[in-house]
Structure 1
Amino acid sequence: MTGRDRGRAIGIGAAWLALAATAGAGLAVLGGVALARRAVTPAAVPEAPVRVLAVLERDGAAHVRLRGTDAGLPGRYSLVFDGGAGHARLGAVVAGAADSAGGVLRELVAVDRGTLVPGTTGRITGWWFADAAELGYRTERIAFPTELGEAEAWLVHPKRARKRRWAVHVHGRGADPVETLRGVAPLARAGITSLVISYRNDTGAPSGRHARYGLGVSESRDVDAAVAEAVRRGAGRVTLVGWSMGATACLLAASGGEHRSVVDGLILDSPAIDWEELLRYHAAGMRVPRRVAGFGVRLLDAGLVRAGEDDGIPFDRLEASALGRALTVPVLIHASRADTFVPCAGAERLAAARPELVQLRLQDRGEHVKLWNVDPAPWERSTEAFARALPHPPWRG
């Protein structure tokens, strides 16, 4: 056992004794364990909080009536249904309210897969494209090696490629690589070749340690492996584009990955920055006492609840000041004051910690990883301008 592990064990022991001294300690311990497991365990079946009430034509155009979570969000979205086998694209809200008996009426732009009928359940996502080929660029399906085995990826070629400029796109926790396709076009217009990757615990990638997440720590090694693949294919510079937990993985790969010297910048959407605070925030939303949430964090940190890292999750590396100190390249962050899943405070702290490197684009509308959906034009303009302006990275050994 290392000194750090002994220190963790002592801390856990002290926490255990403190809890044991209070009434209901057993329930507190069980609650902490449950919270810790929930944080790092991929959902077996994605939630399905939206129900289709009707599919109809109105004024000569297709519409769908929906009721449920996020059904009335402004902007354009995907509806993923039938366990992921079905995919439809939703346009603007026309009438109604998502929580009313009659639901909300939205434009139905397209049904790409499956059959949409009344009674269908699904979930609203920020994804828009269902396949990289829809972007209009030449694409390939490839596999690249990681420490756990091969992972699948899309390779997207711009129409006029800039010599040796590449990007790696990394989706968020519980999402799918298609989530990141919204970010490919502005980079392609800048002449950047894109590698859209899967990582551990995804379909098309190996299972992670204990089939659980590492909250960006384990996943950062798959990002680094993707950077290595880009270099093998001719990249001299690689921009990392990360969403939510994928942003965490990108930050860690850029500061500690074996191939960090070729990373020239980061583009992050709704980044998960302060993981301890984030887990406490979600626990509070479930009315879990703060001490129970803290105990769950300590269990993960010590490795007493198994996660994607055998030695536990190093929460001291997953907070704004530590991530800021490690930064060496420019960063563009897209964040929203309306994000109720990953509040923008972490992004603001990171920007304040390194104002000379971090450009924060903070908007008033847009739920978590759904910023592009409410107003794609400024999102794409700022992303393309940032990518074009990135300097060649200095050699960092």
Structure 2
Amino acid sequence: MAEAEKSAWREWWGRGAAIAGGAAAIGVAGAVAAGVTLARKAVVPRDASMPIIVDQMKQSESRQYVWLLGQDADLPGRYSFRFDNDAGHARLGPVLEARGGRVVREVLQVDRGSLTVGARGRIGGWWFTSPEELGFRVEHITYPTELGDADAWLIHPRRAKKKRWAVHVHGRGALPEETLRGVAPLARAGITNLVISYRNDPGAPAGENGRYGIGIAESRDVDAAIAEALRRGAARVTLFGWSMGGTASLVSATSGEHSGVIDGLILESPAVDWTTLLRYQASLFYAPKAIADIGIRLLDAGVVRGGEPEGIAFAKLTPESFARQLTVPVLIHASKGDTFVPCESAQRLAAARPDLVQLRLQEEGEHVKLWNVDSEPWERVTEQFARSLPRPPWRGE
């Protein structure tokens, strides 16, 4: 999952919770209906809402300020503001003042669109809107997947280390732009970066039933991207996954077709335990744990169709399962302030494999927005980790 889906999740879980609230009166049928609603939300791509409105703007000398109302307007750090149904994009500085429900931020730059009073949008962590903004040489390519060709960006470092590559995997409901914050520290380490789209993205084929496989199905697109890197000369590949992209990266590294060439994982706000996560999302709206479990069982059995034809194997998506199969170093960026994918599952994975997993745990930072709170230590640790990865002994360089 990723920032663009947060509002849609709240809407759907709220609907499921409302059904669940009446389940006691209508019995088993009501409980199953609630479970179906919650299960579909987990796998159906949806457009996110625009929960923030520009309430006031002010120009002072060469600086422009904006007053915002709405969800996430007061998050600490600097952010993208995507408005007018994503036609507009602005970059906003940290909160300068918060009073009476309104938040003041400086408008650092408007990249596209016209930012005016009344504009609606959402706060996001993207910051970069295209790979060219990073200052590296970029190729726009396609790579073959089991479902057809998918778009990708190939980003070359200034001084490439021979045969070292990384594949960047965005989260659920997001776009490849989400991962661009992670490219620069790896490029400084001499790594060639492949930023991919995957099934159900614009520029990529639709998945099974047009739905997500919560990281399992998507991991096969990660495998296909690794194969593309190998065809282009890679000998070892680092996976960099965000949210559900972290799930897909873990699956690819532990049981994927090309797991033998993966030298390490970098995970930002990863979804490591989907059973616990879906129960947590349901609990936010006071839906009983039993309702969430019904939805999970329906997805597992394939009764509610997801992105895997035989159903989604939730037993594979736990910290304990991943811990048993991990063979390469892992860096996890997580936050105690993540209210969407709580950090406890990442902590369980780190505790289970202290020999391989390095957990960088922040006090502040919402889901997939840890870079935005303080980018310098985030990038420094990421670059140091990437530089430290040992070459797999069975691969040449």
Scaled by the length of structure 1, the TM-score of the pair is: 0.92
Residue 8 of structure 2: aligned partner: none
Helix, strand or coil at the partner of 2:229:
helix
Counterpart in the other structure of 2:32: 29
Aligned partners of 1:261 and 1:394 also within 8 Å: no
Distance 2:353 2:142 in 1: 36
Deviating 4+ runs (over 6 angstroms): none
Which residue of structure 2 aligns with residue 251 of structure 1?
250
Cα distance in 1, alignment partners of residues 98 and 386 from structure 2: 40
SS at match of 2:123: strand
% identical equivalent positions: 63
* Structure 2 residue aligned with 1:126: 125
From the superposition, tell whether residues 21 and 60 of structure 1 become closer, same or farther in structure 2 (CA, over 3 Å): closer
Q: Confirm whether residue 267 of structure 1 aligns to residue 270 of structure 2.
A: no
Distance in 2, matches of 1:63 and 1:144, equals 42
**Which segments of 5 or more consecutive residues in structure 2 lack a partner in the other structure?**
1-22
Equivalent in the alignment of 2:92: 90
> Is this contact kept in 2: 1:37–1:305, CA < 8 A?
yes
Counterpart Cα distance in 2 of 1:252 and 1:344: 19
Alignment of 1:43-54 (within 5 A): 43=46, 45-54=47-56
In the TM superposition, 1:347-366 aligns within 5 A as 347-366=346-365
Alignment pair present for 1:75 and 2:77: yes
* TM-fit CA distance, 1:395: 3.5
Stretch moving more, 386-395 or 199-208: 386-395
Residue 118 of structure 1: how far off its partner (Å): 1.2
Partner Cα separation in structure 1 for residue 202 and residue 295 of structure 2: 28
How far apart are the structure 1 equivalents of 2:24 and 2:282? Answer: 22
Counterpart amino acid of residue 42 in structure 1: P
- 1:9 corresponds to: none
Corresponding residue of 1:222:
221
Offset, 1:64: 1.2
Q: d(CA) in 1 for partners of 2:129 and 2:24?
A: 53
Q: CA deviation at 1:80?
A: 1.0
d(CA) in 1 for partners of 2:64, 2:136: 28
Instruction: Supply the distance in 1 between the matched residues of 2:25 and 2:54 (Cα, whole angstroms).
Output: 48
**CA distance in structure 2 between the aligned counterparts of 1:66 and 1:268, rounded to whole angstroms:** 31
Considering only aligned residues, what root-mean-square deviation do their CA atoms show, in Å? 1.4
Query: Whole-Å Cα distance in 2 between the matches of residues 69 and 80 of structure 1?
Result: 14
State the one-letter code of the partner of 1:131: S
Residues 198, 205 of structure 1: 8 Å contact kept? yes
Question: AA paired with 1:236?
Answer: A
Superposed displacement of residue 54, structure 1: 2.1
Deviation sequence 1:58-109 (CA, Å, 0-9, x none): 3530111111111011100001112222111111111124xx35x1110101
Q: Which has the higher contact order (CA 8 A, sep 6+)?
A: 2
- 1:80–1:123 Cα contact (<8 Å) kept: yes
Q: Which residue of 1 aligns with 2:4?
A: none
Alignment of 1:278 onto 2:277 = yes
Check the 8 A contact 1:159/1:191 in 2, yes or no: yes
Partner of 1:242: 241
Deviations 1:288-339 (A, max 9, x none): 1111111001000100000000111100000000011111100000000111
1:98-123 alpha-carbon deviations (Å, 9 max, x no partner): xx35x111010111111111111111
> Which whole-Å CA distance do the structure 2 matches of 1:136 and 1:22 have between them?
60
2:192 paired with 1:189: no
Distance of 1:255 and 1:96 partners within structure 2: 45
Shift of 1:23: 5.1
Match of 1:3 in 2: none
C-alpha distance 28-21 of structure 1, shift in aligned 2 (>3 A): closer
Pairs aligned (count): 373
Structure 1, unpaired ranges of 5+: 1-19
Structure 1 residue 21 displacement after superposition: 11
User: Partner of 1:331 in structure 2?
Assistant: 330
Distance of 1:54 and 1:248 partners within structure 2 = 40
Residues 116-139 of structure 1 show CA distances to partners (whole Å, capped at 9, x for unaligned) of: 111111111111100000000011
Distance in structure 1 (CA, Å) of the matches to 2:25 and 2:104: 52
Aligned-residue offset at 1:165: 0.5
**CA distance, structure 2, for counterparts of residue 204 and residue 135 of structure 1:** 21
Amino acid aligned to 2:52: V
Query: Separation in 2 of the partners of 1:47 and 1:222?
Result: 28
Q: Aligned in 2, Cα 1:23/1:195: closer, same or farther, shift over 3 Å?
A: same
